[in-house]
Amino acid sequence: MGLWTLLKSGLILDIYFFKNNRAQLVSMFAWPYILLTLMLGMGFLFGSAETFKSNVGVEADPVVFFVASTLIAMASLSVMWEVGGTVLYHRWIGTLPYMLIAPYRTSVTLVMSYIPRYLLWSFMQLAEFVPVLIWREGLVGGLSDTLVMGLAIVVGMLPLLGFAAIFGSFLLTIKEETNVLSWLNPIILILSGAFYPAYLFPIWARFLSILLPTTYTFELARLSSLLGAPKLAEMTFLIAVLLGMSFLYNALSFTLMGKAERRALKSGAV
């Protein structure tokens, strides 16, 4: 009995879901393009690609820039929503007690069984964008962009898992049926610089921005659209920060989840 079967259980659950929910599969493929089209469409309403470049202040192709942003925004939201809200989901459908009696720590069960879903969804969506990236950047440029985005997805996931599990542990202890992250997510996205660059924020907001792993994930994603310029040192720095944050947030979530589980088992919140 090992963590491998736990990972596999998460994977097989998604495969079964896709098999039995074709509409979900279709919408998963369609959604990133819908979002991208909307973002680009709105962008071009306000000006040309050149205007975009001058507004953003970088020499980036707007399509590639938004592909990267879309992917990372969706992947980040997915981790925070799914891991943070998984306790609620299982409570609603009545599977929570059966998840908790799995012979692992609760934090391990909730996080590990989610990882395959995240990787499966994110890489399927990344694969979807490969033709667009090749069209915009050429074969080598497109593939290297894909590689960096893949790296951002994987490295960005690590701290987010712990970060989201902290909220998951909070939901485990309270008896109210509210996913805190549903209203916290937009704030996190704003503070992470998903919509406006963080340097425009007031000091207190910049401080919060530094603490959020999503800030670095977005930055990493943006870099992938700027690979034409030599930004490898910056990328390495961001990856190092994300790995450090992974350790911090996962250690914190491991401790907090243990406490939350104990509190939930004491109060009868399961």
CB 136, CB 64: distance < 8 Å: yes
Among 86, 113, 215, 224, binds another protein (CB under 8 A): 113
CA distance 162 to 152: 16
3-state helix, strand, coil in the chain (%, to 5): 85, 0, 15
The amino acid occupying position 82 is: E
Rounded to whole angstroms, the Cα distance separating 253 from 265 reads: 17
101 contacts another protein (rule: CB under 8 A): yes
3-state secondary structure 98-110: HHHCCCCCHHHHH
Q: How far apart are CA 208 and CA 54, in angstroms?
A: 28
Among 42, 45, 57, 98, binds another protein (CB under 8 A): 98
Q: Of 57, 202, 230, 268, which one interacts with another protein (CB under 8 A)?
A: 268
Contact between 252 and 162 under an 8 Å Cβ cutoff? The reply is yes
- For the segment 235-264, give every residue that binds another protein (CB under 8 A): 262
Please compute Rg for the chain using Cα positions.
19
Minimum CB separation of residue 269 from another protein in Å reads 10
Site size toward another protein (CB under 8 A) is 32
* Residue 200 engages another protein in binding (rule: CB under 8 A): no
H or E stretch including 48?
A: none
Distant-in-sequence, close-in-space partners of 99: CB < 8 Å, separation ≥ 6? 90, 106, 109, 110
Nearer Cβ to another protein (115/155): 115
**Stretch in the footprint of another protein (CB under 8 A) among 62-70, 76-84, 98-106, 150-158:** 98-106
Min dist. Cβ of residue 168 to another protein (A): 17
- Give the residue with the Cβ less far from another protein, 58 or 102: 102
Among 33, 81, 104, 123, binds another protein (CB under 8 A): 104
> Among residues 171, 183, 188, 164, which one has the least CA distance to residue 115?
164
Any idea what the Cα angle at residue 142 is, between residues 148 and 65, rounded to 5°? Answer: 70
Give least dist CB 14 to another protein, A: 10
Tell me the per-residue interface mask from 2 to 41 with another protein, x by CB under 8 A, - otherwise. x-xxx-xx--xx--xx--xx--------------------
Please report whether residue 154 would count as binding another protein according to CB under 8 A. no
Show the site string, 77-96: x = touches another protein by CB under 8 A, - = not: ----------------xxx-
Binding residues (CB under 8 A) for another protein: these are 1-2, 4-6, 8-9, 12-13, 16-17, 20-21, 93-95, 97-104, 109, 113, 262, 265-268, 270
